[in-house]
Amino acid sequence: MKKITFLLMMLSVIAMNAQTFSISGKVTDEQQKPMPGASVLLKGTYIGTSTNSDGEFKITNLKQGDYEIIVSFLSYEEMSKKISLTKDTKLDFSLKQSAIMSDEVVVSAIKANEFTPVAQTNLDKKDIAEQNTNADIPFMLSLTPSVVATSETGTGNGYTGMRIRGTDMSRINVTVNGIPLNDAESQGVYWVNMPDFASSVNAIQIQRGVGTSTNGAASFGASINFQTITIEPKPYANLGFSAGSFNTFKESVSAGTGLIKDKFTFDVRYSKLNADAYIDRGFSDHQSMYLSGAYYDEKNLLKAVVMLGKERTGITWWGVPDYMIDSIRTFNPAGKYYDENGNEKFYDGQTDNYWQNHYQLLYTREISKKISLNANLHATTGKGYYEQYIPTINDFWEENLFSNYGLEPIISGNDTINSTDMIRQKWLDNVFYGFTSSLNYHYNKINASLGIAANKYDGDHFGYIKWMKDNKSYPNDYEWYRNIGTKNEFNTFLKVQYSLTEKLSFYGDVQYRQISYKMEGPDDDLVRLDQTNDYNFVNPKLGVNYVFNNNHKFYATMGIANREPNRTDLKEATKGGGTEIPTYETLYDYEAGYQLTKSKYAIGINLYYMDYKNQLVNTGQLNSVGYPIMTNVDVSYRTGIELMFGIKPIKNLEWTGNLTLSKNIIKDYVDYADNHVDTAGNEYYKGVEMGDVNISYSPNIISASTISYKFAKHFTFNFISKYVGEQYIDNTMSEDRKLDAYFVNNIRLDFNKSFEKAPNLSVQFLINNVFDVDYISNAYGGKWYETDGVNEIEKSWVAYFPQAGINFMFKLALSF
């Protein structure tokens, strides 16, 4: 009998533990009107939902325990309630409209919401602060799905880049407060021009694939939206200091007034970074400033933002030659020359120098409860130069001839001097300006945005000879070339999200882009660039989202994107007598995803198939100033699966991560080379049929992981891992031009403590590459052919960008 009683008691306990409950309720405004689309989250869990068309919500399958429910809605004050859940419970919320308009309205037309059927990752202010450890933006985002970050210097600052799903920055759309950031000509983003930009960012959203329509060029791998500092109601001040390996020192100070008379705010930040590089003679000497002033009331927001950046960076884009990577891993050939005694020397002034300033005027008005308007003006100015010592005979050109600069040889007695050592500067002076606007409608089952933008770019490219060893009376600062580039772009889009039922919603989006790009004048090799290229694109997207309940969600989407070639693509194609202009590329993107969220864990799965026509792929080669040389391929595709997860198995322990498995294929690739040599020693142009090959710089496996354990009240230990599979640096799948896979681990220790009568204290200590792995994140190269009189023999050359071994960083921040 006792055994039966004990068994019944055990079954009773198991049944109680297995029993689940629900939290339901209704969200209304102050007039008791229902608020559809309000966000409802359970703090400290992965569970969340949104209210239906009647403002009602229900969260099911919850275990007994204590919960905090947080409810929010754009332009309304956030509200929370705590509950001890022992039975099905009903909670209603009445949200109070904020006395001032929310900054989130500024980017509401650009950002995707939780029901938008796209693969997305969102980082909030806390996430950004944790990852802001002196490395540039690509390394901050390297733990998000499908991202590979690269660094020329080997330390994560200076010249950095990233690829998402194998596509580089020139085909990733980037906006700041909804305003295009991509350079109009190269279409890339140079993070070196925006030092410590992350310290002025409040939120980041990454949409992978085609994503939703935005301002600027279409996305072929992803789009990234940054939102800068939003309102802080109370005055504040922050002091930051970082120091670490490679003589790295960063100081920053920021402050804000808080709300003045419930209407005005002013914010300012200044940062300075100095660091050496892992690579010889690489360095960073950067300064930046952020300024903003805003006016708020219940229906209006007017905000001015100024971002100033100045950088001086040692040139490291040549990489380490393959024949030296095992002996002098940090060797930098930039600036190498020989003195009169034949001694190897390096020019100290081999630098990149650039000033870039961003000006934004943002205005938002709530016309009614259903309609809001955004109207923004912007301008970006940039000016700077590369300075290079070019010896008479060097590693990159056969001979530095006077004729290359349009100069006459020097006659000295019976001798004719055709070449000489030079110091030269290549300049860029440009301005990019325009407006962006959107009309936003949100009511009941419909969420819609109509966007219109127009932008103009005007850039001068020119070069000076600062000094010549043998001079025929040419003046200092002799200008040997000048060309101009102008680009006009018009963009409009319409997005509509419609909730057919409480569970089923549809998404439709169409964008029209009109581009005209013109180049005039000679390039640095004196080849004229005179050409005009016009494009008209229509980019539609369709999607569906189905929410089974608060635990399960499914979405599917299809989108088309068209993208124009960039300046380098266009000009390099016409060099050497070429006449074929690269065509625009088209992407057909198909994606489907599923999300499972529970209190202690969450799983996301995204499947994608990206079908390209005329995709511009990297050839693995660079031009004379480090830009990748691309070529169109007829048919190619990228397909894969992205897995995301988060687990909280016990209190204070969390494991988050992601894994991407993909195939990236060019169909029936033909590899062309113009340096085949016949048995008579004559060069000829030859195409080699390669069949189906892997796309360059596209690893089939990418993963990231972070294990966080809060082992004391104010201390958190983080073990961070990144794996990138092997990848080829061109499209021939040659083992001689391949990067090995690498697996790198970092440790970060966080200490955070708030004080009532003293500044809040935040301390970070990092050990990067804790196991001191020798790895290479990027490379470029090519091939040539030699003949033994009978057979052609393929030869390779590669230049590598090795990364630093174990290194350390310390970061201290005080908040007042």
Q: Which two tokens stand for residue 627?
A: 């830009």
Mean pLDDT of 472-478: 83
What whole-number distance in Å separates Cα of residue 678 and Cα of residue 685?
Answer: 11
Instruction: Tell me what percent of the residues of the chain surpass a pLDDT of 90.
Output: 62
Q: How confident is the model at residue 5 (pLDDT cuts 50, 70, 90)?
A: very low
User: How is 25-44 classified by DSSP, letter by letter?
Assistant: EEEE-TT--B-TT-EEEETT
For residue 6, pLDDT beyond 50: no
Indicate the pLDDT class of residue 575, thresholds 50, 70 and 90: low
Q: What are phi and psi of 324, to 5 degrees?
A: -120, -5
Q: Reply yes or no on whether the pLDDT at 7 is more than 80.
A: no
Read off the pLDDT of residues 12-22 as tens digits, 9 standing for 90 and up.
444 444 578 88
Taking residues 206-213, report their average pLDDT: 94
**Residue whose entry in the numeric block shows the structure tokens 């021939």:** 732
3-state secondary structure of 399: coil
Q: CB-side exposure of 447: number of CA atoms within 13 Å? A: 20
Q: How far apart are CA 198 and CA 201, in angstroms?
A: 5
**DSSP assignment of 370-408:** SEEEEEEEEEEEEEEEEEEEE-SS-SSSS--BGGGGT-P
Question: How many Cβ atoms are within 10 Å of 234's Cβ, its own excluded?
Answer: 8
Model-level pTM greater than 0.85?
Answer: yes
pLDDT band per the 50, 70, 90 thresholds, residue 659: very high
Phi, psi of 213, deg, nearest 5? -65, 145
CATH of domain 226-359+383-414+429-815: 2.40.170.20
Q: How far is 37 from 39, CA to CA, in rounded Å?
A: 6
Secondary structure, 3-state, 112-159:
CCCCCCCEEEEECHHHHHHHCCCCCHHHHCCCCCCEEEEECCCCCCCC
Taking phi first (over 0 means left), then psi (-120 to 50 degrees means alpha), and beta for anything else, what does residue 89 get?
Answer: beta
How far is C-alpha 707 from the chain's CA centre?
Answer: 24
Q: Which of 215, 183, 107 is nearest to 491 (CA)?
A: 215
Reported as half-sphere exposure (CB side, CA atoms, 13 A), residue 720 has a value of 20
What integer pLDDT is reported at residue 593 of this predicted model? 96
Model confidence band, residue 625 (pLDDT cutoffs 50, 70, 90): low
Residues carrying CATH 2.40.170.20, the chain = 226-359+383-414+429-815
* Token pair listed for 418: 């055709």
Residue 511 has pLDDT above 70, yes or no: yes
* Cβ neighbours, 10 Å, residue 249: 13
pLDDT at residue 300, as a whole number:
92
Question: Which of 59-68, 206-215, 388-397 has the largest mean confidence?
Answer: 206-215
Ramachandran sector of residue 156 (left: φ over 0; alpha: ψ -120 to 50; beta: rest): left
∠ CA 294-296-299, rounded to 5°:
140
The reported pLDDT for the residue numbered 224 is 95
Structure tokens at 204: 């980041």
Residue in this structure with the two tokens 């109207």, named with its chain if needed = 375
The tokens describing 737, both together, are 């031009």
Q: Could you say which DSSP state residue 757 is in?
A: S
CB hemisphere CA count around 184 (13 angstroms): 30
pLDDT at 100 over 80: no
Q: Which long-range contacts (CB under 8 A, 24 or more apart) does 328-336 make?
A: 329/774, 329/802, 330/154, 330/278, 330/279, 330/280, 330/802, 331/279, 331/280, 332/279, 332/280, 332/281, 332/282, 333/395, 334/281, 334/388, 335/281, 335/388, 335/389, 336/391, 336/394, 336/395
> pLDDT (tens digit, 9 = 90+) per residue, 118-161?
999 999 998 998 888 888 999 999 999 999 999 999 999 889 99
pLDDT band at 682 (very low <50, low <70, confident <90, very high): low
Condensed to tens digits (0 to 9), the pLDDT of residues 285-315 reads 999 999 999 999 988 999 999 999 999 999 9
Continuous H helices in 453-565: none
SS3 214: coil
Residues 6+ apart with CB under 8 A from 791: none
330-356 residue pLDDT tens: 999 999 988 888 899 999 999 999 999
- 320-321 and 336-338 strand pairing: unpaired
pLDDT for the residue 626 = 62
Reduce the DSSP state of residue 377 to 3 states and report it.
Answer: strand
Read off the pLDDT of each residue in 264-291 and give the average, rounded to a whole number: 96
Banded model confidence at residue 676, pLDDT cuts 50, 70, 90: low
- What's residue 684's pLDDT? 58
More confident residue, 577 or 367: 367
Residue 313 CB neighbour total at 10 angstroms: 25
Q: In this predicted model, what pLDDT tens digit does every residue of 540-563 receive, in sequence order?
A: 999 999 998 878 999 999 999 999
State the average pLDDT over residues 55-83: 85
pLDDT at 111 over 70: yes
Tens-place pLDDT, residues 252-263:
999 999 999 989
Considering only CA atoms, which of 515, 504, 537, 452 is closest in space to residue 210?
537
440 in Cβ contact with 373 (< 8 Å) = yes
Identify the pLDDT of residue 12. Answer: 43
Which listed CATH number (3.40.50.1970, 3.30.43.10, 2.60.40.10, 3.90.76.10) goes with 18-98?
A: 2.60.40.10
Mean pLDDT across 165-189: 93
Residue intervals of the chain classified under CATH 2.60.40.10 are: 18-98
Encoded tokens for 667: 């169909």
Tell me the pLDDT band of 679, cut-offs 50, 70 and 90: low
Task: Determine how β-strand 21-28 pairs with β-strand 93-94.
Answer: parallel
Check whether 396 has a pLDDT greater than 80: no
Instruction: Determine the Cα angle at 619 with ends 618 and 624, to 5°.
Output: 95
| Single-letter residue type at 444 | N
Whether pLDDT at 505 is above 90: yes
Q: How far is CA 216 from CA 57, 104, 181, 247, 693, in A?
A: 37, 20, 8, 38, 31
pLDDT of the residue at 13: 41
* pLDDT tens for each residue of 31-43: 888 888 788 888 8
